[in-house]
Structure 1
């Protein structure tokens, strides 16, 4: 009899897992507590997969041989507790994809900040270097769906800590950890060490022939590398000291892996800002371990286009530049954005707070921000944190209102920066929706 696989959650990863499992001969049932997007409904129907929405039929879920859980569903969910109590194995969609990925090489990227940029850049370098690589995971197409519909020899996978929580044998040939800062602590019992453990699961199954690329200047990562049993070859990146992998010194990046080494001026990187120098180093070391020629790596780094909603230039209106960094959903992301600002800044901040410590931003806000425009339902914490640092703090309730208020407080030569440091679910569907509405409001000024 076919193994019964229940998939909880019918978003991109859930539907991808359902398609792959069906193709591999599982008896598949997908259950979503909310409502499915029309596109996912039709994909499930076409594949002949049973599904339900608007609630879960418990007896069907608890009759599963195995459950694939959406990364968005927390452990404290009542149904998840019952699944655990019934000792039913729970895996993530990346674990399922890994089972059927064959001999393809997997490059997996995680980290609190910079992972989407680093993943996209690695994929771009692979493509320029002539590798047939797919860009999957948190960033777009689910890993499982790609394996089912269009398998490739190389997968560049962006993975979140939530996806890593439910892996068993998932093993990337190259694991990249960009950094670890306090994020999503609401999902980890507000214990930072739980979140750190989660991130380090990326190396759990790696062997001596695999590679682990990490930021040696990131204090949390550096302190943690000795606490985990890492079998793979460690390749640190740094701006503070020379090493045997990659470092930046006097405005030049040096990448050494094995016998070969390349160097390149940081002024040739298309990605600007110190944090992006780390992202670029991580991507270049990854490419070097994949034996991509250094001329191709150099060409790719010089031609990379930045992502939508990540430090995206929208327009300059009457001398005021507008930047969409809606993807900054935690304090550290916003810190990095502010760090790269070179002009007086009007900052649009706020949304759903995940336990933010705004004190981390205080110095930069004092130094660079002339006004804060709050864009959220509850902005009391932002007022409390910055009332001493910034002369103007204004509450707004829509993207258009926020853009109007920001423009009114900006002068020629200033920047209006949407970098909210919060999730977007109070006023918007997601960070993309927030960024899109911001851009529309700017263009309509």
Structure 2
């Protein structure tokens, strides 16, 4: 009798799981409450996977032996609660796919920097000639790659939602970039719940595994003081020299495991800014632990180009630099972006608020921001926080309008920065869509 796998959500992770489930002999059914896009329908038909859209047929779903839930579906949803009550396991794609690969896994999580760190780590290992795949929120899903490829190493970007759905999944090397309040709407507005969720990345680690983390981050070090993990702790810091891990001395990145080695000078990093130095240190340590050569790592860090929608320079028009940081979907990411600005800035901000507290940004806004352009349907909190801090504050309802307004108020030598600190779903389909529309509007000036 075939085991029944029900996949909730017909997006990238759902369709990838369906392909892998089919390959492993499951009877697979995909159910999506919304519409499934044509390209994914085509794939499901090609693999002869039965599916439904715009509904959840409970009598079929409740027959499942196991349910894979897409990360976008909250645990609080009635259907999920009922599945749990019935004792039907509800897991994430990485839990399902992880069972079917013996590859070494480098898992990367954090409130910010995880995409860049994932891309850098993959770049370093590829340059060092590892047979390496990259997945998570990047490219093809982990499950699809496990079904179709034979990689020795996977670099996975892991969100807290994906980690919530793991039981046995483990990363041989886990990287925790930082923890700041994000997605609190999914965690009952309780920061501690979100912190616990992030630390699930180390839950199944053993003595032979590694946890690379930012030792300047008080939330992370606070958790490590109160809790234990079996993994070998590998810290990195910009603020202090360490006995073990990575740190800065005389502007050089030093890596210290069994012996001490100078990796490279910070000025040679292709991606500048404090947060990028941290991302580079975390990636370099992961690559070193996997025995990549020091010279290859240094060379790769000096030519890594960066990630689309993350502090991406779009164009310079009449001496004004336009920067697309649409991937900044929380306050801390916007903080990083503003911290990197060294010219007067016109800041485009707003969208769907995830329980944001903008107060942390006040000192940076006072110092660097000359005008704020709101890009969202409800800008109340932004206006209340910043109306007495900047001289110009304008509300707009689309990328084109926002760019036109920013263009009007920016002077030669200024920067126009799209760094929304919010999700995009009120006006756009995704942060990529928001970034693309911004770039299109800039090119249309």
Q: For 2:240 and 2:259, how far apart are their aligned partners in 1?
A: 20
Matches within 5 A, 1:82-231: 82-102=82-102, 104-231=103-230
Distance between the aligned counterparts of 2:108 and 2:238, measured in 1? Answer: 20
Alpha-carbon contact 1:257-1:285 (below 8 Å) kept: no
Distance in 1 between the 2:263 and 2:276 partners? 17
Match of 1:306 in 2: 306
1:413-424 to 2 correspondence within 5 Å? Answer: 413-424=413-424
> Any conservation in 2 of the 1:328–1:334 contact (CA below 8 Å)?
yes
Q: Is the 8 A contact 2:66 2:90 kept in 1?
A: yes
| 139-148 or 210-219, larger mean C-alpha shift | 139-148
After TM superposition, list the pairs within 5 Å mapping 1:285-434 onto structure 2: 285-434=285-434
SS at match of 1:130: coil
In the alignment, is the contact (CA less than 8 A) between 1:351 and 1:427 conserved in 2? yes
Aligned-pair CA distance for 1:249: 2.4
Q: CA deviation at 1:279?
A: 0.6
Q: Please report how far the alpha carbon of residue 263 of structure 1 lies from its aligned counterpart in structure 2 after TM superposition.
A: 2.6
The whole-number CA distance in structure 2 between the counterparts of 1:239 and 1:378 is 37
Structure-2 separation of matches of 1:398 and 1:192: 32
Normalising by the residue count of structure 1, what TM-score does the alignment of the two structures yield? 0.99
TM-score by length of 2: 0.99
Aligned length: 444
Q: Deviations over 1:27-82 (max 9, x none)?
A: 11110000111111111111111111001000111111111011100011111111
Contact 1:217/1:239 (<8 A) preserved: yes
Instruction: State the alpha-carbon separation in 2 of the partners of residues 114 and 257 from structure 1.
Output: 24
Q: Which runs of 5+ in 1 are unaligned?
A: none
RMSD between aligned residues: 0.8
Aligned equivalent of 2:44: 44
Cα distance in 2 for partners of 1:133, 1:313 equals: 29
Cα deviations across residues 154-186 of structure 1 (Å, max 9, x unaligned)?
100000000000101101110000000000011
Q: 1:55 & 1:444 partners in 2: Cα distance?
A: 40
The CA distance in 2 between the partners of 1:302 and 1:61, in whole Å, is 50
Distance, in Å, in 2 between the alignment partners of 1:254 and 1:287 is 14
Distance apart, 1:271 and its partner CA: 0.9
- Structure 2 spans left out of the alignment, 5+ residues: none
Between the aligned partners of 1:172 and 1:258, the Cα distance in structure 2 is 22
Q: What is the distance in 1 between the residues matched to 2:254 and 2:218?
A: 22
**Aligned equivalent of 1:24:** 24
3-state SS of the aligned residue for 2:372?
strand
**Secondary structure of the corresponding residue to residue 304 of structure 1:** coil
Q: Is the 1:165–1:198 Cα contact (8 Å) retained in structure 2?
A: yes
For 1:239 and 1:60, how far apart are their aligned partners in 2?
A: 53
Alpha-carbon distance between aligned partners in 2 of 1:237 and 1:203, rounded to the nearest angstrom = 17
Could you tell me how far apart the structure 2 residues matched to 1:245 and 1:312 are?
A: 30
Shift of 1:260: 5.8
CA offsets 1:212-238 (integer angstroms, 9 cap, x no match): 100000010010113333111110001
Q: Deviations over 1:178-213 (max 9, x none)?
A: 000000011011111110110000001111111110
**Structure 1 CA distance for aligned equivalents of residues 34 and 250 of structure 2:** 53
Q: 1:249, 1:422 → 2: CA distance?
A: 36
Aligned to 1:58: 58
Cα distance between partner residues in 1 of 2:192 and 2:99: 29
The CA distance in 2 between the partners of 1:81 and 1:386, in whole Å, is 40
Give, in whole Å, the separation in 2 of the partners of 1:311 and 1:402.
Answer: 18
Distance 1:226 1:382 in 2: 35
